[in-house]
């Protein structure tokens, strides 16, 4: 019989998978942006604004950021689980991490659709 703790491994596989899927999504977006920049032989203000004026690019950027923030959550939680053993301190740091992640999300939304 296996003894299970309150924080078991049951959610681990799903997070492991999401970490990989978000990584692939971000890699595709990165290569896409790189391809756009190389195709246009560099970047200037005109191309930059034209890119963000495009609704499709804004949506792709939003998906990239959501993937990034979820990916970052899994990674940061892994780091905290490995190095911060006292439960209270770990919970505090995890909470701080989540607050920061939501702040980043708010900033992203404001930047993508705030002024439009």
Partner 1 sequence: MKQRPVYLDLPRIRLPLPGIISILHRLSGALLFFAGIPLLLYGVAGSLASPEAYAEMKAGFAHPVAKLVLIGMIWAYLHHFCAGVRYLLLDIHRGIELEPARRSSAVVLVLSLALTLILGVRLW
Q: What residues make contact with partner 1 under the rule CB under 8 A?
A: 3, 20, 23-24, 27, 30, 45, 48-49, 52, 68, 72, 75-76, 79, 100, 104, 107-108, 110-111
CB neighbours of residue 77 within 10 Å: 16
For partner 1, which is the closer residue by CB, 48 or 91? 48
Two structure tokens written together for 111:
């930047």
Q: Shortest approach of partner 1 to residue 76 CB, angstroms?
A: 6
Q: Shortest approach of partner 1 to residue 88 CB, angstroms?
A: 20
User: CA separation (Å) from 66 to 22, 87, 99, 116?
Assistant: 9, 28, 15, 20
């Amino acid at each position: 019989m296996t003894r299970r703790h309150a924080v078991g491994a049951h959610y681990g596989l799903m997070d492991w998978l999401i970490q990989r899927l978000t990584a692939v999504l971000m890699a595709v977006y990165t290569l896409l942006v790189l391809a756009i920049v190389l195709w246009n032989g560099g970047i200037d203000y005109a191309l930059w604004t034209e890119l963000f004026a495009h609704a499709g690019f804004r949506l792709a950027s939003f998906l990239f950021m959501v993937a990034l923030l979820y990916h970052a959550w899994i990674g940061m939680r892994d780091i905290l689980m490995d190095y911060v053993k006292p439960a209270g301190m770990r919970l505090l740091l995890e909470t701080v991490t989540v607050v920061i992640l939501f702040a980043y999300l708010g900033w992203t939304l404001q930047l993508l659709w705030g002024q439009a």
